[in-house]
Structure 1
Amino acid sequence: MNALVNELDQASMKEWFEHMHRTPELSMQEEKTAEYIAGLVRGFGYEVETGVGKYGIVASLTVGDGDNAIGLRADFDALPIEEVNALPYKSSVAGVAHLCGHDGHTTMLLGAAKYLAEKKNFNGTVRLIFQPGEETMQGGPAMIEDGLFERFPVDAVFGMHNMPGLELGKLYFTPGEVMAAVDNWEVEITGKGGHGAMPELSIDPVVAGSSLVMALQTIVARNVSPANRAVVTVGAFLAGNAGNVIAHSAILRLSIRTTTPEDRVMVLHNVRRLVATQAEAFGCTSEIREGVAGAVLVNDAAETEKAAEIARNAFGEDQVVFPGPTYLGSEDFAFMLQKQKGTYCFLGNGDTKMVHHPEFVFNQDILPIGAAYWVALTEGHLR
């Protein structure tokens, strides 16, 4: 496999990666990124369909007379976070950055795409699925609703994500449930604004919201079995702009993650209950705005074992971990796995800050490893 890694166009991969890192776009706003990706794969010789689920791209290449088809998926949206790294290719967009590594995921798939088109060492059809809007759980469902698997049929579909904390360059495969379902909700608590020196004339939504933040933490602690896993995170609390002003309203943004259908129903019910009762207890009103619901990501056991075996043959036994870890993080690739069998693996990013951290750095050393895995997987499936 070292020979294959060396055959990949690593100079171009570095150029593609750094370009996308400098020019990030938020979920479902990735118009220029999509144009950039489509132009590259079209230049490699793929048949390219754009606008699948708004900005999604499917690039197909058929070699030989084989009837089988494989789908390889990479995401390309960025996060609404200010990057603080001092990189020569640092994000040039204020408040937006590729701090989850989706630019790296897309680069790995582009590297594999170029190699596969040049060598044509497979028999069948490879479909490259470049997906927008993963961070908001919108892109996968949008592409599926737009006829992804009906218009571009595949026998199996595969995804991959870099992961800080896992050994650099190693691949991790786990059958069954690997990532949690997520519900991203926004709660607005409305009180009565006023002067900070006259609280008796106001109804303070910040106090109500603060009480709600603490109350929400009891849901998992006292309702979810210790044998299961779940989390309710309040990631944003937005209210007011001055210390001497009592805000009229407060907004809380929640990330709710569960791993069983029963726990999801129960946890969401309790979130609704506590939002209503906590707001009422402080004389406020409340409104919940529910986002796109996530799903538990479940890897097909047979496809996971097959992918792991292909990786062992390509990289060596010591570079593959089976079974690997599971996470309470979420992925809208879960929706694709509900429609088609396949698997989702992790590629170790080494000892770096966690994804979504303002100092996260995608390790470019794993770009050719990820690309080589996609090549080996394609050639292994389409013999």
Structure 2
Amino acid sequence: MTPLIDSPIQPTKVQISPDLALAMQAWRRDFHQHPELGHQEHRTAARVAQLLRDWGLAVHENYGGTTGVIGVLDGRSGAGPTVGLRADMDALPMQDQGDHAHRSTRDGVAHACGHDGHTAILLGAASHLAAHPDFSGRVVFVFQPAEEPLTGAKALVQAGLFKDFPCDEIYGLHNNNCIGPGQVGVRVGAILSACDLFEIRIQGVGGHAAMPHQANDPIVAGAALVQSLQSVVSRNISPFDTAVLSVCQFQAGSAINVIADHAVLRGTVRTLSREAQSRTLQRLQEICAGIAQGYGCQITFDHLLSSPPTINHAGPVAHVRQAAAAVLGADQIIDPVTPLMASEDFSYLLDHCPGAYFFLGHDGLTCHHPEFDFDDALLAQGAAIFATLVYQRCINA
């Protein structure tokens, strides 16, 4: 099998042919019908690897002991820079309530975030570039597992991704209905927030509801703690920075007339800078210690998961803008786009390699909606921008 042939190369602009666009749609809808959770993307990864292999790429499956797939394509014009392109492959643990013919065939698993589209976009870029390898240097295609739990990119980095496949720069994208269809949003600096998950356990003394003086009510301490935590954002974070702290679970008690002996709080912190992230987590622990002393109970703070903010580098942002303007028109570029307080583990890749993450405007429901379906019109746009990036970075190297 050979790569699907597109229009002739234009160094500063790629146009995806109707045949390749239809193939991308078919791949995307197949992935949508067969979603897989993070680190379980066996079928998806196998399909990706087979397509890349059919097009003549060097393929590395199960990279680093994960379900990740790495494809490598060398240009036929000799040595040059190495550009990394990344897509995420995993789905969400939720029901697909859409009425489209290609809805999920797996109960309780759905591509409700667009990763099926991201995978198809990167495959389309790989097909085009493999058919037209008239560039200098190398392209590393990173098909990443487990973005949703924010663990896949970190696993690839720890496995030696940038040692085994050194990249001069790396790019990723995500669909976003906060900007219009046919638009691209990008910015220098933070484009997505850090994400920190926490659990707070309060150990008190249980007792009879009629005799609270003989108990030490963890619910009272927990209520005070929830109130105090709100001061972190308003009083400890610069008004020129951004943070969101949400206590999303408060669990205590088993009977209406019994004072519980323990309570559990769980929540998230979202921040757009490492300084705000560090300061917020520090204050969380300090407030827990203060409430414990003030209410005479034991409080344990557990930091369950952390991912850094997604921070774009200036040079790669300029390259995204140039490539997107060539494909879509300069008037379709929103720069700077408003950052989102959602999180993305592409941030781990940007910690180790210069790069940029950008949004593709889409028409439809927001991500994580139970009826979400990827806008197939984005497929050719995304693949063309990725391929154009490669040509613009490598064709004159």
Do both share a fold (TM > 0.5)?
Answer: yes
Q: CA offsets, 1:337-377, max 9 Å, x none?
A: 22211211111123x43323334332222111111111111
Match of 1:224 among 226, 234, 237: 237
Q: Which residue of 2 aligns with 1:106?
A: 119
Contact 2:319 2:389 in 1 (8 A): no
Q: Which residue of 1 aligns with 2:309?
A: 296
Q: Which residue of 1 aligns with 2:54?
A: 43
Q: How does 1:270-289 map to 2 (within 5 A)?
A: 270-278=283-291, 285-289=298-302
Match of 1:52 among 52, 59, 63: 63
Q: How does 1:307-346 map to 2 (within 5 A)?
A: 307-346=320-359
Q: Which amino acid aligns with 2:24?
A: M
Contact 1:74 1:105 in 2 (8 A): yes
1:237 & 1:29 partners in 2: Cα distance?
Answer: 31
Q: Which amino acid aligns with 2:97?
A: V
Shift of residue 382 of structure 1?
1.8
Match of 1:167 among 180, 187, 194: 180
Q: CA offsets, 1:202-261, max 9 Å, x none?
A: 876566545544432222122222221111123445567887887775544322122333
Shift of residue 70 of structure 1?
0.9
2:260 & 2:106 partners in 1: Cα distance?
Answer: 30
Q: Which amino acid aligns with 2:367?
A: V
* Residue 382, structure 1, aligned to residue 387, structure 2: no
1:36 & 1:303 partners in 2: Cα distance?
Answer: 30
Deviates more, 1:321-330 or 1:140-149: 321-330
Secondary structure in structure 2 of the residue aligned to 1:343: strand
Q: 1:366 to 1:196 in 2, by over 3 A?
A: farther
Q: Which amino acid aligns with 1:314?
A: V
Q: Which residue of 2 aligns with 1:82?
A: 95
When the two chains are superposed, the root-mean-square deviation of aligned CA atoms in Å is 3.0
Contact 2:14 2:388 in 1 (8 A): no
1:190 & 1:49 partners in 2: Cα distance?
Answer: 49
* Residue 15, structure 1, aligned to residue 19, structure 2: no
* Residue 372, structure 1, aligned to residue 384, structure 2: yes
* Residue 70, structure 1, aligned to residue 83, structure 2: yes
Contact 1:181 1:330 in 2 (8 A): yes
Q: Which residue of 2 aligns with 1:136?
A: 149
Q: 1:3 to 1:378 in 2, by over 3 A?
A: closer
Q: Which residue of 1 aligns with 2:280?
A: 267
Shift of residue 79 of structure 1?
2.4
Q: Which runs of 5+ in 2 are unaligned?
A: 1-6, 8-12
Q: 1:68 to 1:186 in 2, by over 3 A?
A: same
Q: 1:310 to 1:274 in 2, by over 3 A?
A: same
Q: 1:325 to 1:11 in 2, by over 3 A?
A: same
Q: 1:251 to 1:341 in 2, by over 3 A?
A: same
Q: 1:277 to 1:371 in 2, by over 3 A?
A: same
Shift of residue 278 of structure 1?
4.5
Match of 1:127 among 111, 134, 140: 140
Contact 2:14 2:327 in 1 (8 A): no
Contact 1:209 1:279 in 2 (8 A): no
Identity of paired residues, percent?
37
Q: Which residue of 1 aligns with 2:159?
A: 146
Q: 1:360 to 1:202 in 2, by over 3 A?
A: farther
Q: Which amino acid aligns with 2:244?
A: V
Deviates more, 1:144-153 or 1:232-241: 232-241
Contact 1:77 1:133 in 2 (8 A): yes
Q: Which runs of 5+ in 1 are unaligned?
A: none
Q: Which amino acid aligns with 2:131?
A: E
Contact 1:61 1:117 in 2 (8 A): yes
2:100 & 2:259 partners in 1: Cα distance?
Answer: 41
Q: Which residue of 2 aligns with 1:25?
A: 36
2:87 & 2:93 partners in 1: Cα distance?
Answer: 19
Secondary structure in structure 1 of the residue aligned to 2:16: helix
Q: 1:378 to 1:235 in 2, by over 3 A?
A: farther
* Residue 358, structure 1, aligned to residue 370, structure 2: yes
Q: Which amino acid aligns with 1:225?
A: S
Shift of residue 128 of structure 1?
0.4
Q: CA offsets, 1:252-277, max 9 Å, x none?
A: 43221223333222211221233445
2:204 & 2:154 partners in 1: Cα distance?
Answer: 36
Q: Which amino acid aligns with 1:18?
A: R
Q: Which residue of 1 aligns with 2:4?
A: none
Contact 2:186 2:357 in 1 (8 A): yes
1:359 & 1:213 partners in 2: Cα distance?
Answer: 33
Matched length: 382
Q: Which amino acid aligns with 1:367?
A: L
Q: Looking at CA atoms only, which structure, 1 or 2, has the larger radius of gyration? A: 2
1:122 & 1:252 partners in 2: Cα distance?
Answer: 54
Secondary structure in structure 1 of the residue aligned to 2:378: helix
Q: 1:8 to 1:314 in 2, by over 3 A?
A: farther
Q: Which amino acid aligns with 2:384?
A: A
Q: 1:368 to 1:210 in 2, by over 3 A?
A: farther
